[in-house]
Amino acid sequence: MRATTITRAAAAAALAAAVLAGCGLGGTEKKSLAGKDSLVIGVKEDQPALGVKRPDGTYEGFDVDVATYIAGRLGVPKSRITWRTTNSSVREEALAKGTVDMIVATYSITPKRKMKVTFGGPYYVAHQDTFVRADAASIRDVRDLKDKRICEVRGSNSWRRVIEERKVAAKPVTVDTYGACMDALAAGRLDAVSTDDLILAGFAAGRPGRMINAPFTDEKYGVGLRKGDLKGCEEVNRAITAMYQDGTAERLLTKWFGKSGLKLTTSVPQFEGCT
């Protein structure tokens, strides 16, 4: 019977260790997104049709609507969401520090980011394209960006797609946001802004210039979560599936991008899997 006693003691010790390690019972920092009754959500503030901070401090856009829907499915009403501007360069850090609970901000799932972030989704797959001034007839393809000044947004992946992945020797000009890129393009400090077609379409509606219509990547827009929150991730994926099944995704895509001329995909994207 001694063996049984020892086994019981070992089991109790293992259980205590698991509890101390925070297996679902730790402090708020380790709490899954799935169990929260209010949420801080990171979005962009200067990307028309995706994430915009209005003068009155409220936010609007496709990402804001998607995040509101997901939060609702997780049991958090709009009134218990706090929105926080989260630029490209601070996304991973904001999740790691817990200053936001989730990020819905044109945030592409990439292998490098997956090392630091758990991604739900994707909730949409965009494609990188390029926006130029109306007089730039010679830029028709990503290869034509060689020796051209393109925008490098800190923490964003788009300039890497051109220079590192496509090996096109463009000249990056660094700024903090895509709004700043568009201003620099209009002022003649840049020759092109190459990034997701949804972002460019949002800006194009209010500015002169044109999209070259030569998409060359898949940008899987993920819902960024604290690394390791697999339970939260699975709930987010269930919410995204419901968003497509109940017609909300199609309604929101039409609401924000219906007039853009982009070919919109209204079937649920292939999920990456929660890791």
Residue numbers at the binding site for ligand GLU (CB under 6 A):
88, 105-108, 153, 156-158, 195-196, 219
Q: Give least dist CB 48 to ligand GLU, A.
A: 13
Between 106 and 130, CB nearer to ligand GLU: 106
CB of 218 to ligand GLU, least distance (A): 11
156/260 with CB nearer ligand GLU: 156
Q: Cis peptide leading into 122, omega within 30 of 0?
A: yes
**Pair type for strands 81-85 and 39-43:** parallel
Question: How many Å apart are CA 95 and CA 227, to the nearest integer?
Answer: 8
- Annotate 191-208 with b (16+ C-beta within 10 A) or e (fewer): bbbbbbbbbbbbbbeebe
Cβ count near 216 (within 10 Å): 16
Residue among 45 and 196 whose Cβ is closer to ligand GLU: 196
Exposed, middle or buried: residue 227 (CB in 10 Å: 0-12, 13-18, 19+)? middle
Tell me whether residue 191 or residue 219 sits nearer to ligand GLU (CB atom): 219
Q: How far is the CB of 156 from ligand GLU (least distance, A)?
A: 3
Judged by beta carbon, residue 118 or residue 157, the one nearer ligand GLU is 157
- Asked if 209 and 253 count as a contact pair (C-beta separation under 8 A), the reply is no
Q: In the complex, what is the shortest distance from the CB of residue 208 to ligand GLU, in angstroms, rounded to a whole number?
A: 22
Q: Which residues contact 273 (CB under 8 A, 6 or more apart)?
A: none
Please state the closest distance from residue 12 (CB atom) to ligand GLU, in A: 46
In one-letter notation, the amino acid at residue 228 is G
